[in-house]
A and B are shown apart, each in its own frame.
Chain A
Amino acid sequence: MSLSSPLRQVLGAGPARSGVHHWWLQRLTSLALVPLSVWLLVSLLALPALDHLTVRAWLAHGWTALLMILLVLLAAWHSQLGLQVIIEDYLHQSGPRWLLLVLTRFANVLLAAAGVFAVLRVAVTAAA
C-alpha cells in the first residue's frame, strides 16, 4: 500500500479533463480559419496593386479590418495550440520544454497584439 495521499497520486498524472478543451479549441479555430485564410488569400490576389494607398484603403475598410482582426487572433491561437502539442510530444527534457512552451506563448500573444494594433491603427487613422 502506498503511503502518499490519493491526491498526491493523481496530481500531474493526466490532463484532468483539460485535454478535451485543448482539442476542441484546436478544431474550432481550424474551422474558423478555413474561410478566413481563403478570404485573405483571395482578397490579396484581387487587389489591383500592393502600393501603400491601395493596401491602406483595403485594410481600413470596415469588413476587411474586422475579418483581419479575427484572422490574426484565431491564427495566433491556433498556432499556439499546435506548437504547444508539438513541443509537448517531442521535447521530454523538462527545462528546454518549459522554456520553449513559455516562449511560444509569449510570441503568439505578442503577434496577436501587434497584428490587432496594426489593423486598428490603419482603420482608426483612416476614419479620423
Chain B
Amino acid sequence: MSNVDETRTPGIDESHERVSYRSRQQFWDLIESPYVVHAVLAFAMMTVLVPFGWELITSFKANSAIYNLNYLPANPTLQTYYNVLIGEGYWKAILNSLLISTSTTVIVLALATPAGYAFSRFRFRFDNLLFIGVIFSRLFPPIGLVVPYYQIMARVGLLDDLLGVTIAQVYLWLPLMIYIMRNFFISIPEELDESARVDGCTRLQAFRKVALPLARPGIAACGILTFLYSWREFLFSLIVTSTLDAMPISVAVFKFVGDVSVSWASMAAASILAIIPTVFIVVFFQRYIVTGLTSGALKG
C-alpha cells in the first residue's frame, strides 16, 4: 500500500496555496474546453449575422410590409432592389464608390510603398520626427478636420466632385498604410537590398527588383484594407457630396433617412448592395490580409 496522497501533485507542497494548483488548472481546462469555446464563438457569430440576416430579409420586403410582424416576407420581392438601383439611380453611387475606392487604393499604394521602404531603410536627419508626423496626422479625430476640409474643397471647387472625395480618402488612409508598409519592409532583410546592389543594382533597381516583389503580400494587404476602408467611409464623403454625381454608396444609403420617415426596405436593399463587393473581397482575399499583416510580426 502506498501512503502517498494520490490527489496531490507529486513533489509539490500545496499547503501554502489559497487555491490549489489542481483547482486552478481544472478551471482553466473548463474555460478552454471545446464546448465553452464553441459557445463563445457561436454567440459572437450571432451578433454579426443576426443584424445582417434581418437586413437581408427586410430587403426582400416591400416598403409597405416592413411593419408586419412576420419575420419572413410574405411575398418576397426584388422590386425594392430594382427601385433602388434603377428608379433612384443608385447604380451611379455604386459606380462612384468603385471609382473612388479603386483610385484611392492605387494612389495610396503608389505613395505608401516607396514611403514605407524609405522609412524602413534610410537614416536621415529628423527621420523619426517625420515618421511620427505621418502617424500624428492620423491621430486627430476626423470630425475635427471636416470643417477645414470642407472649406478647402469649396475654395478649390471640388465639392460634389469624385476627385474631392478621393483626395479625402487618400488623406485618411495613407498614414496607416505607410506605417504598415514600413513594418513590412523592416521584416525583409536589408542584406537582400545590399546583395542586389553589390550584384549591380542601383538603389531604385534594388527596390524594384528585390524589395518590391518580396513586399507583395504586404502590398496586397494594404490594397485590400484601403479599398475596404474607403468603400465604407462615411463622414468626409457626406460632407463634400450632395448629389449622386459624386456620392458614394456609403452616403447614398443614408439618404433614405428622410425628414419625416425612413424607407427601411430601400435602405436595407441599398445596404446589401453596398456590402456585396466587400464581402466578395474579404472572402477571396482574406488570406492576403492575414499573411500580409502577420508576416512582419513573425519574421521581424
Partners in one complex: no
